[in-house]
Amino acid sequence: MSCEVVNQDLDAYVDRELDTEASTVVQGHLAGCASCRARVAERQALGRFVRSAPYYSAPDRLRARVAAQATQSRLSSRVLAWATAAALVVAIGGGVSLLRTARTPDDVAAEAVVDGHVRSLMVDHLVDVQSTDRHTVKPWFLGKLDFSPPVADLTESGFPLVGGRLDYLDGRPVAALVYQRQQHTINLFISPADGASAPIDSRTVRGFHVRHWSGDGMSFWAISDLNDRELTEFVNAIIGR
């Protein structure tokens, strides 16, 4: 199936409105098409933005006045519609304004990291190159990225390397390294850092433990359903290499 055909169904796919057969076809295409996966990520980011906007109801005085006038048939349906629309515009405008001040770039990035982690598990596209040898995984990224991601072998620390893949966060290509801890999967997203080194930021997003830090010119995001202590061990092993 071509990207043009799949693109017509992406909105319905993201909203989970496709039937099982159509959804399976789209997932199969996404497994081998990085550009369409990036489009899905963008739609998911937009959905998170809309869902996270706070709801503001109309002031009690305005609601009482509109209700009274409607009851007494003094307000035409057209005027009522305009009043409702105006109140909605004010509510959305105020919500977006507060959202912009409340959410930081790291908050948005953390949501994208969680989406990328979940997406890699759902569409059965965990790795593009499957190998426990870092000397096989690292060269695979040559020509696919404009930077060389560091690849560590953490088998002795209890976190064997599974492989790597090309992924996207907020529409930007990143390296995704995959590690294993028993039955738990760890995604480590790596991209060039925009600023100076930053200490480890720990947070929990939608039930997943997330770590973010930067150093040596690279930005790192680690995410897993591992318990907090073991993910900290993983991060320390990465930084210690």
User: Of 180, 149, 176, 150, which is closest to residue 165 (Cα–Cα)?
Assistant: 176
Which segments in the chain show pLDDT lower than 50? 75, 97-101
155 in Cβ contact with 133 (< 8 Å): no
* DSSP β-ladder status, 161-169 and 218-224: unpaired
170 in Cβ contact with 41 (< 8 Å): yes
**What is the residue whose two structure tokens read 């990520």?**
41
Nearest 5°: CA angle at 7, between 115 and 124?
40
pLDDT score, position 87: 61
**What is the residue whose two structure tokens read 């959410």?**
103
Strands in the chain per DSSP E: 129-130, 161-169, 172-181, 184-192, 198-205, 208-215, 218-224
Which CATH code fits 105-240? Answer: 3.30.200.100
pLDDT score, position 170: 81
119 in Cβ contact with 223 (< 8 Å): no
Q: Is the dihedral of CA 234, 112, 169, 110 positive or negative?
A: negative
229 in Cβ contact with 212 (< 8 Å): no
pLDDT score, position 54: 57
pLDDT score, position 237: 96
Please report, for the chain, the start and end positions of each structural domain, with discontinuous segments joined by +.
3-50, 60-102, 105-240
Taking the C-alpha atoms of residue 137 and residue 150, their distance in angstroms, rounded to an integer, is 10
Taking the C-alpha atoms of residue 89 and residue 82, their distance in angstroms, rounded to an integer, is 10
What pTM, to 2 d.p., does this model score?
0.61
DSSP string, 9-75: THHHHHTT-S-HHHHHHHHHHHHH-HHHHHHHHHHHHHHHHHHHSPP-PPPHHHHHHHHHHHHTT-S
pLDDT score, position 202: 96
